[in-house]
């Protein structure tokens, strides 16, 4: 089972963890951005300085089979064995790609995630899902393969832009809606304009614990772990559509917009309260703006939903809510109601 460390000083905690793991060689995966902005926060450690470092281009479009092969080749060329250790230092793209590289290299090596984005900390780094994008579909190829340790440190949050913060905050919104009214209220009341990073780190750990609790009950997503897909069926369709139209949007923004549409489905299918739907919609529109598309794009969006991994056959599978904390997995509907949800998104 993966262990999550709330770090106040990243170098101290990294030394502590590396001391607990037996390994022959150490490798670090970064992207071009985290190599510049985040690697220096740990490079003062001699053991880190002496590690072999592999750098890939930044951005979700680089979570590809080509970069996966690049990591495999680097590990092979530098003598990695089944007893080597990989540190993934970066956002969700790096923890997904690096986790999948670790899962598949010599049938599995140990790895540590150090998420450097809010999105990575509350979502991608936790739960053991790894993978790459393939043929235009997000996370199409992957494996369940948990990190040995995850170190969550507020030191990296100070390097983020407001857009990066909001992208991660969308997953915290989702976790709060899955959890309770009191958690949702804290998320609603946090000041996103004047960020208190210590308070943010506390909220991150609370959010991570919600995800971890769900994952522990259902590691391979046969049942309740599907709860974590709230907002993602339509959200991934928005994200893939935007990418294919060469106007990529951050993952968290797509999820936030997806939450609006899927809470409308929740209202229609599971009696989710209209008042709460309106409140969530207003909060997301105020902070995340609008995703632009037209009714002419509905068919393309629907096609992306059909290819979603959560489906059985061509039946599109949703996680919906009866209320905050009242999770309703394995919900299905017809194309007409999905289009009605897209109508709601466009008109509110």
Percent of the chain with pLDDT over 70: 100
- The whole-number pLDDT of residue 309 equals 73
- CA triple 119-125-130, angle to 5 deg: 115
Q: Is 87 exposed, middle or buried (0-12, 13-18, 19+ CB in 10 A)?
A: buried
- CA triple 232-238-244, angle to 5 deg: 130
What mean pLDDT comes out for the span 16-32?
A: 97
**For residue 247, pLDDT beyond 80:** yes
Q: Which of these, 217, 189, 175, 186, lies nearest to 324 by C-alpha position?
A: 175
- The whole-number pLDDT of residue 226 equals 94
Q: Is it true that 3-159 and 162-347 share their CATH fold?
A: no
The string of pLDDT tens digits covering residues 188-230 is 999 999 999 889 989 999 999 999 999 999 998 889 999 999 9
Q: C-alpha 203: how far from its chain's center? A: 16
CA distance 175 to 230: 9
Position 136 confidence tier, pLDDT thresholds 50, 70, 90 = confident
Phi-psi label, residue 315: left if phi above 0, alpha if psi -120 to 50, beta otherwise: beta
- The whole-number pLDDT of residue 87 equals 98
CA distance 75 to 81: 8
Which CATH number describes the domain made up of 162-347? Answer: 1.20.1090.10
238-241 contacts at long range (C-beta below 8 A, 24 or more positions apart): 238/291, 238/293, 238/301, 239/138, 240/136, 240/137, 240/138, 240/304, 241/293, 241/297, 241/300, 241/301, 241/304
- The whole-number pLDDT of residue 125 equals 82
Phi-psi label, residue 108: left if phi above 0, alpha if psi -120 to 50, beta otherwise: left
User: Residue 111: beta bridge partners?
Assistant: 86
Position 344 confidence tier, pLDDT thresholds 50, 70, 90 = very high
What mean pLDDT comes out for the span 159-175?
A: 94
CA distance 150 to 204: 13
The string of pLDDT tens digits covering residues 67-123 is 999 999 999 999 999 999 999 999 999 999 999 999 999 999 999 999 999 999 998
- The whole-number pLDDT of residue 155 equals 87
Position 318 confidence tier, pLDDT thresholds 50, 70, 90 = very high
Encoded tokens for 286: 């105020």
**For residue 179, pLDDT beyond 70:** yes
Domain extents for the chain? 3-159, 162-347
Fold of 3-159: Rossmann fold (3.40.50)
The answer to whether the beta carbons of residues 126 and 211 sit under 8 Å apart is yes
- The rounded mean pLDDT for the chain is 94
The string of pLDDT tens digits covering residues 264-316 is 999 999 999 999 999 999 999 999 999 999 999 999 999 999 988 778 777 89
CA distance 172 to 331: 22
**pTM here?**
0.88
Position 1 confidence tier, pLDDT thresholds 50, 70, 90 = low
**For residue 338, pLDDT beyond 80:** yes
């Amino acid at each position: 089972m993966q262990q999550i460390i709330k770090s106040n000083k990243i170098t101290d905690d990294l030394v502590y963890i590396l001391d607990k793991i037996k390994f022959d060689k150490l490798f670090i995966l970064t992207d071009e951005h985290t190599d510049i902005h985040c690697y220096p926060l740990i490079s003062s450690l001699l053991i880190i300085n002496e590690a072999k470092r592999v750098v890939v281009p930044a951005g979700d479009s680089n979570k590809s089979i080509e970069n996966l092969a690049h990591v495999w080749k680097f590990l092979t060329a530098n003598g990695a064995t089944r007893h080597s250790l990989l540190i993934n230092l970066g956002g969700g793209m790096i923890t997904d790609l690096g986790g999948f590289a670790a899962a598949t290299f010599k049938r599995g090596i140990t790895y540590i995630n150090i998420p450097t984005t809010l999105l990575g900390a509350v979502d991608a780094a936790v739960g053991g899902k790894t993978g790459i994008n393939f043929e235009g579909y997000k996370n199409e190829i992957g494996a369940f393969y948990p990190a040995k340790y995850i170190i969550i440190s507020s030191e990296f949050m100070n390097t983020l832009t407001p857009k990066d913060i909001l992208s991660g905050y969308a997953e915290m919104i989702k976790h709060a809606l899955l959890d309770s009214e009191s958690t949702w209220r804290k998320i609603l009341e946090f000041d996103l304009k004047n960020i208190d990073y210590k308070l943010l780190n506390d909220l991150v750990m609370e959010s991570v614990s919600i995800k971890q609790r769900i994952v522990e009950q259902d590691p391979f997503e046969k049942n309740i772990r599907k709860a974590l897909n709230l907002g993602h069926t339509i959200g991934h369709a928005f994200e893939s559509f935007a990418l294919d139209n060469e106007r990529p949007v951050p993952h968290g923004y797509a999820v936030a917009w997806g939450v609006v549409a899927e809470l409308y489905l929740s209202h229609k299918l599971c009696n989710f309260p209209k008042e709460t739907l309106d409140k969530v919609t207003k909060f997301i529109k105020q902070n995340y703006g609008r995703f632009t598309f037209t009714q002419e794009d509905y068919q393309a969006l629907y096609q992306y939903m059909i290819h979603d991994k959560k489906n059985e056959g061509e039946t599109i599978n949703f996680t919906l809510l009866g209320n905050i904390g009242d999770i309703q997995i394995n919900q299905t509907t017809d194309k007409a109601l999905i289009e009605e949800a897209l109508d709601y998104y466009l008109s509110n």
